[in-house]
Amino acid sequence: MLLKIIGVFFVGLAALGAVLPILPTTPFLLVSAGCFAKSSPRLHKKLLSNKTFGPMIFHWQDSRSIPLRAKIISLITMVLSVAWSCYMLESNYLRLIVVVLVACPFVFVLRLPLSKQANVKPEEQ
């Protein structure tokens, strides 16, 4: 029951991350998928069958890779968020903090391998 609650909580955070530039979406979905895989096969299947996020989760679970489109969108979103933050902040110290905080996740996503099965959907496996 606790894993289901945690999974639903992280799906909520992922939904917020889809609209808020500083909050990530994919890591929260991966946590929720892991929780649902152990606690609720029905919710896990529902998450994997989601048109938008299902293929990304599937590729990550299957091969620890992400589709090229997801990688490009993620990296561009990070760059735009940092650029906007640096434009809005008046302090160079705060600008540096923003750049440093986003640098590690940027490098992590940049180094992720691309899915070799980009056109295969979870239902077809």
Q: Give me the pLDDT at residue 81, please.
A: 86
Domain membership of residue 125 (yes or no) is no
The percentage of residues in the chain with a pLDDT greater than 90, rounded to a whole number, is: 41
Q: Cα–Cα distance between 39 and 8 in angstroms, integer?
A: 11
Domain identity same for 1 and 60:
yes
Q: Are residues 51 and 71 in the same domain?
A: no
pLDDT for the residue numbered 125: 46
Quick: pLDDT tens for 39-52: 999 999 999 998 88
Q: Is 23 in the same domain as 57? A: yes
User: For residue 47, is it within any domain?
Assistant: yes
Whole-number mean pLDDT of the chain? Answer: 85
Question: Residue 42 is part of which domain span?
Answer: 1-64
**Domain boundary, last residue among 20, 38, 64:** 64
Q: What is the pTM of this model?
A: 0.64
Same domain, 55 and 93: no
Residues 50 and 96 in one domain: no
Dmax (CA) of the chain: 51
Query: What's the structural domain count of the chain?
Result: 2
For residue range 44-89, what is the model confidence (pLDDT) as tens digits? 999 999 888 888 788 788 888 887 887 888 889 889 989 999 999 9
Helix, strand, coil fractions of the chain, as percent rounded to 5:
75, 0, 25
